[in-house]
Every structure is written in structure tokens, then in C-alpha cells.
Structure 1
Amino acid sequence: MRVLELGNNISAPLACTILGELGEDVIKVEPPQGDDRRKIELEGVKGLYFASVNRNKRSVSIDLKRKEGLEIFEELLSTADVVVTNYRPRALSKLGVDFEEAVRVNPKVIYCSITGYGRREGDRPAYDATVLAESGLMDLTGYPGGPPSKFATSIADVTTAMMAAISVLHAYASDRRPVLLDVPMLQTQLYLSLEDAYAVLNGGTSPTRTGSAHRYLVPYQAFRTSDGYVYVAVFNDSQFLRLCDAIGREDLKAYSTNSKRVRAKEIVVAEIQREMERETRDRWIDVLRRYDVPCAPVLTLGEAIRRYGEVTEVGAIKYLNFPLQTWVGLRRPSPGLGEHTVEVLEELGYSREEVEDMARKGIVKMMDRRA
């Protein structure tokens, strides 16, 4: 499929990157100033922040505020199957690229609109952290007695991007044309809150912060060792009994059911912690795995990437590979602003001379790797 991206920052760009990873033709339509992520330095390097969610796509820079630019976009739209955007609905309407206008140009278009709070409140500004705050998930993140905490990564943006990609693939496979896919960030977070939401809906109480621990399973949390942390994830009673054998605490088998352990959580956790402090992280991982107790070392991101990361290097940038076997490979590194303007417009029938003339007039922008 051909996908047009009218995206900025994370949610729409990442959704389109996922589609690009699966082999679809993604064209990122950027304003002359480019995506906001192009301007942010990461580790002192310009371009890394942008590269993290903008690969396997082509960049075309068009000024949609100009009549001539809008006409070019409409020509491009007539060749597309999908539009993915996280621009606010009012901005899309003002530019003349909203769903209604898109259908007028292309009656078979799939139009995926990502907003913070749904299209009824689509013009409210929304960022990952503000959505997490209002979704209730930030209130659940952190340690008891401490302040609410942001998630380690931009989880609201990332999960919404995945939901958008799923919606597009379903609409394309179902041949639903035209269709408006409304993908709200906040409702996505509520949907993904899983058992905690069901506790609220059916129990009437609101869960509280538990740090690294599970709210409903014991022991299911990080334990401090002599030189680091081990996460122990006991999901059932037989695993707990094996844990007791592994740490040499036959007495703890008195708490043989999860309901008993939940009621005596402080005692159980304190006794396990006492044992864990006696040995190193790697020693406990070796012992617990021999007893088939679900566990993992708490690694830094650097350790995790060195141990598990599959990487493709293009130019000066190292990219993490797409995790699914359906990945078609890193066909295109993250594009420079307007890097493919000439290429894409030539596909529409424009000559290079015409594109260069439009670039001189500011209607389009051609490649500038420094942007």
C-alpha cells in the first residue's frame, strides 16, 4: 500500500515506520521547517532523535499553506491508499487536508487520525506525559508514598502508534473504503490498563502505586542482591514452592497460596529480600533458573542492547532491527528533509526543472541533510 504521513513527533511517524518496516511505501509529507523531532539533539548529535521513529520512508517537503503546494499534495493523495496523521483536526481542516477533503480527492482512501482525546476533543494539545497523567496510569506508576512517575519511554505515543498501524492494516485487509479511523491516545491507555481497569469497574476501588511489585501477585517484584537487582515473577503456587526450595526457606511454604501471600505480603517479601541480599545477582539468576523459577536480572539499557540487540548500521547511525520475522529489512535510513521531493514528484509526472522552479518559489523543499 502507499501511505502518506502527515505526522509530527512520535505517534503518527512511528505508526508509519511500522508500516514501512512491513514493506509498505511510506511518503512523509513535511512542512518546509520539517518534523519537530529534527530539531532536537540526542547525545549531542542532530538527527538521532528523528531517526528513532522515521526510517523506511521517503521525505517530501511541501508547503501546504500555498495553493500550489496543496494541489501537489492532492495529486499525491490521488495515488495513495492511506493517510496517517496526528495533526489536530482544526489544523487539518484549515490546510484543506482533512478527511472530508481527502475523500473528495480520493474516494477510496483510508484516513487514520490520531488525537489525544478523540475527535470530539481533538484540538486539545496532547503529549505522551499529559495523556499518561490524565489516563490514570501515571498515578499508578512509582513507589508507595512517592510522587507519580512518567514511564521510562513514551509509552502512550508508542502504544497508540501500534493501535493505529493495526487499524490501518485491518481496514486495508477488509477493503473498507473510504473510512475514517479515529485513534485516541487517552482511550488507548485506558484499554491497555487491563486488570487495573477491571478492578475499578467491578470492585469500585482505585489501585495505588506499588513500585516494581505486582498489585495482585506475591512475590512478583525486583529484589536487591549484593550487587544489583533480580526480578522474581511468581505467577502460580507451584512456582512459589520451587522458589522456597531455591532459597532454602521451607518455612515460607506456609504461604502456599497466592491469597495467603497477598495477605502476608510484607512478611513474605521481607524474608525473601533477606535471602537475596546474601548473594550476587548472577548467582541468584543461576540458582533460580535451575529451580525453574521465572526471574531475570534487572539490566541497564546498555546491557540489554549488548546482550539482545540486533542492529543494522547505515552511515553514522545504528538502527535496532524490527522485532518481527516479517521485517523486510532496513531499506531506507531516516530521510533528510525533502530528500525524496524530486523523486516522488517525478513519479507524479513533474520534470526536475519544474521541481527546482517550485523549490526556488518556496512551494516545495528539496533535500537538505542539515535540516
Structure 2
Amino acid sequence: MTQQVGAKGALDGIRVVEMGQLIAGPFCGQLLGDMGAEVVKLEPPESGDQMRHWGQGEKPSWWRVIARNKYSVAADLRSAEGQQLARDLIAEADILIENFRPGTLEKWNLAPADLMAANPGLIVVRVSGYGQTGPYSGRAGFGGIGEAMGGWRGIVGYPDRPPARMGVSIGDTLAATYGCMGALAALHHRSRTGKGQIVDSALYEAVLQVMESTISDYSASGTKRRRTGSTLPAIAPSNVYPCRDGEYLIGANQDGVFARLAAAMGRPELTSDPRYATHRARGERQEELDALIGEWTRTLTIAELEAQMIAASVPAGRVYDAEDMMADPHFAAREALITVPDAEFGEVTMQGVFPKLSETPGQVRRPAPLTVGQDSDEIRRRWLDEGRGETGNAA
């Protein structure tokens, strides 16, 4: 699982200044860095990014993932000196990422219009709760708020309980991913025109994009999607089922797949039973069908059920946790997990670079910066050409 040194990545030569904090901006920077961009993260000189202290366990390690492939430069953006350093670096950059409340950059004398006047090819990725325009744009917004407004929270959980949340900050990472997508599209446009542009990624709109047909269903028929626990309405069978030693997920709602599941259960007659013979019929009897399948799966261990599902070509799988992932040979074979050297931990295993490109694969080229501002001198020298006279390289 150790990360191998290989190609530099598709974005080799692209320079990124990341001014975001916490998750949304920094995850966008992580994605660009994984694909080969050189990412310079501006951090408050004393405290640094709060992500340095986030995560679970006695020694949180989230920073090691979200700050990989990045250089740390200390800059107090509330001071004139820090603002000037930011302007100088941004003048040499291809992409700027920020996820402050709209108006903050302008307050710090770093208005995108001014930055782009000095650097016409600059692409500015702006991630915020509600976007840069509209009546809510000035409100503070975190990922959870975007998940609620975008519709996600309202359909997660069980109908007799309050809305639940996913165990990760999906609103933040979705907005970051769409911000990255926008930056890549803007780079293509710049390659043809030489002009940069602003990428406006709102947390609630990023969530809205993955809400499938919730809006169109309501528009067309007045149907509102509700919380349904571990199932999707009218999609059956597709659920987590009990085994003698745990739970196992089976998805067999398509007609042909259901037929294979029924045969594996020793109940081929289910496919001709009008109660279960069609997709619609199975959806109407979802609870009844799940109970029937559960009676069968309870008689098997997870290993026994998995062997039968593989043999029958029924989409199914174990419900993994981190320990399961680290022990799985498929994760290892595809380098879905990699091990990165770390000055404090020795090494840290984390998710690998994704997606996988055949000609210009991304990689983790350097671990997360251990201390705030540890790369300030190097970046000033390489990006701003400071100290050239001292090294004897002046023209």
C-alpha cells in the first residue's frame, strides 16, 4: 500500500494558492494537488488551519489527508503585510481557492476583480454557504446547513425520528469537488482564450445537484421524498440484511437479478408470484419482501451468504469499516489505500488518489506540512524570486 513515486500528474506546472480553512476550500486544494498542481496554503501564523486539530483518536490525523501535497506559508490576511504577500503569490498563480463568507476577500483588499486585473488568467474558486449572489449570500454557512437546505438532511434517517446526518461532511466535500470541476473547466477555457474567471460553488447547490429526482418528482406529480431509513422508496429488494454474525447488503431490484437471488434462496417461484414478479410489485411490498429475504439470510454467516451471492452474480457486499478496508486485498491491489511517511506517526495509511488516470496518474508527492509556515522561505524564493542576489543568480 505504500505510495509509489511516478508521473507528476496531469496538472503538473499549475500553481494554486489556497486561502480556505476547515474542509470545503482545503478539500478542493487536496484534489488539485493530488492531480499534480503545486498548492501553497496560506495559514494564520499562530494558529494555522483548525484542521490541524480535527479528527478522532488521541492524535487526530485528518490534517495528513487534507493537507497532503501542500506547502505551508504563514500569512496574516488581516494585516497589510499578509495581504501584500497574498497578492504577490496570487500574481504568480493559476488558481486561487477561498471559502470565506462573501465579502471577506474584499474587506481584506483582495477583491477578485483586482487580483484578476493584475493576473488576467487567474481562476478564482469561491466556495461559500449560499453563493456569491442572492439574498442569503452574506449569511454564515457550514456544510451541515447546506445539506439541510439542499434537501439531503430531510431524507436521511427513519420517518419516526428527526433527520439524521451522514457520518462525514458531505456538503463540504461536494462543494469542494464541484469547485475543482469548475476550475478544470476554467483551465480549458483559459487555454483557448487566455482569460481566467470566477467559479462560484455554493454548499447548498452542490448538495442539490446530487438530489436525483426530488425536485422533478414534486414538480411533475406533487410527490415529496421522505425519510425511509435504510431503503429507497419502491426499490426492492435493496437493503442490509441480518446474518448469523452481522449484516450484509444485497441489491437485487432489477428483474433478472431478482430472479438469480430467488434461485439462490431456493425460491425460484418468487419470480412468477404476482406479488414479486415486477419491479413495481416488489416496490409496493418492500417491507414484506425484506422480511422474507431476512428470514433466509439469518440462517447464514456473512461468508456463506457472500459466497452464494458471488456465485449467483447478485450485487452484494459487506458493510466495511476502516479495519475491513485495510485488510481487503482489492483495496490493496488498486491502491485505494496508500501509506504515506510521516514525521510524527512514522507513516499514515489514507485513501489513495482518485480518480485514476492511465497516462497522467496523480500521486501523493509530499506529506502534509508539519508546522505552520514551514515552507515560507522556499515558496518566497521559488515563486517570488526573493534572495536571487544572495545566491549569485542575479542577471
- For residue 127 of structure 1, report the CA deviation from its aligned partner: 1.5
Distance in 1 (alpha carbons) for counterparts of 2:156 and 2:236: 18
Q: Which residue of 1 aligns with 2:339?
A: 312
Distance in 1 (alpha carbons) for counterparts of 2:55 and 2:31: 23
Q: Kindly indicate whether residue 241 of structure 2 is the aligned counterpart of residue 226 of structure 1.
A: no
1:160 pairs with one of 175, 178, 185: 175
Q: Which residue of 1 aligns with 2:127?
A: 114
Query: Which AA in structure 1 matches 2:233?
Result: R
Question: TM-score scaled to structure 1, two decimals?
Answer: 0.90
CA contact 1:282–1:297 (8 Å) conserved in 2:
no
Distance in 2 (alpha carbons) for counterparts of 1:196 and 1:154: 21
Q: Secondary structure at the match of 1:89?
A: coil
Q: Which residue of 1 aligns with 2:86?
A: 73
Query: Which AA in structure 2 matches 1:323?
Result: F
Q: Which residue of 2 aligns with 1:37?
A: 51
CA contact 1:27–1:57 (8 Å) conserved in 2:
yes
Distance in 1 (alpha carbons) for counterparts of 2:129 and 2:291: 42
Task: Summarize the Cα distance change of 1:229–1:291 in structure 2 as closer, same or farther, 3 Å threshold.
Answer: same
Distance in 2 (alpha carbons) for counterparts of 1:70 and 1:92: 10
Q: After superposition, where does 1:1-371 map in structure 2 within 5 Å?
A: 1-32=14-45, 33-40=47-54, 42-46=56-60, 48-120=61-133, 121-175=136-190, 177-253=195-271, 254=273, 255-307=276-328, 308=331, 309-315=336-342, 316=345, 317-318=347-348, 319-326=350-357, 327-335=361-369, 336-347=371-382, 348-351=384-387
Distance in 1 (alpha carbons) for counterparts of 2:130 and 2:150: 10
- Give identity over the alignment, percent: 26
CA contact 2:34–2:69 (8 Å) conserved in 1:
yes
- For residue 305 of structure 1, report the CA deviation from its aligned partner: 3.0
CA contact 1:117–1:185 (8 Å) conserved in 2:
yes
Distance in 2 (alpha carbons) for counterparts of 1:290 and 1:283: 11
Misfit runs of 4+, over 4 Å: none
Q: Gaps spanning 5+ residues in structure 1: where?
A: 355-371
Q: Secondary structure at the match of 1:312?
A: strand
Query: Which AA in structure 1 matches 2:386?
Result: Y
Task: Summarize the Cα distance change of 1:271–1:235 in structure 2 as closer, same or farther, 3 Å threshold.
Answer: closer
Query: Which AA in structure 2 matches 1:267?
Result: E
Task: Summarize the Cα distance change of 1:232–1:90 in structure 2 as closer, same or farther, 3 Å threshold.
Answer: same
CA contact 1:342–1:352 (8 Å) conserved in 2:
no
Query: Which AA in structure 1 matches 2:54?
Result: I
- For residue 353 of structure 1, report the CA deviation from its aligned partner: 12
CA contact 1:217–1:234 (8 Å) conserved in 2:
no
Q: Secondary structure at the match of 1:45?
A: coil
Moved more, 333-342 or 118-127: 118-127
Distance in 1 (alpha carbons) for counterparts of 2:285 and 2:184: 47
Distance in 2 (alpha carbons) for counterparts of 1:352 and 1:141: 57
The count of corresponding residues between Structure 1 and Structure 2 is 353
Q: Which residue of 1 aligns with 2:4?
A: none
RMSD of the TM alignment (CA)?
Answer: 1.9
Q: Secondary structure at the match of 1:170?
A: helix
CA contact 1:228–1:298 (8 Å) conserved in 2:
no
Q: Secondary structure at the match of 2:66?
A: coil
Question: TM-score scaled to structure 2, two decimals?
Answer: 0.85
- For residue 352 of structure 1, report the CA deviation from its aligned partner: 9.9
Distance in 2 (alpha carbons) for counterparts of 1:210 and 1:289: 28
Moved more, 247-256 or 55-64: 247-256
Distance in 1 (alpha carbons) for counterparts of 2:140 and 2:219: 28
CA offset digits 1:259-307 (Å, max 9, x no partner)? 1111222221111111111111111111121111111112223212321
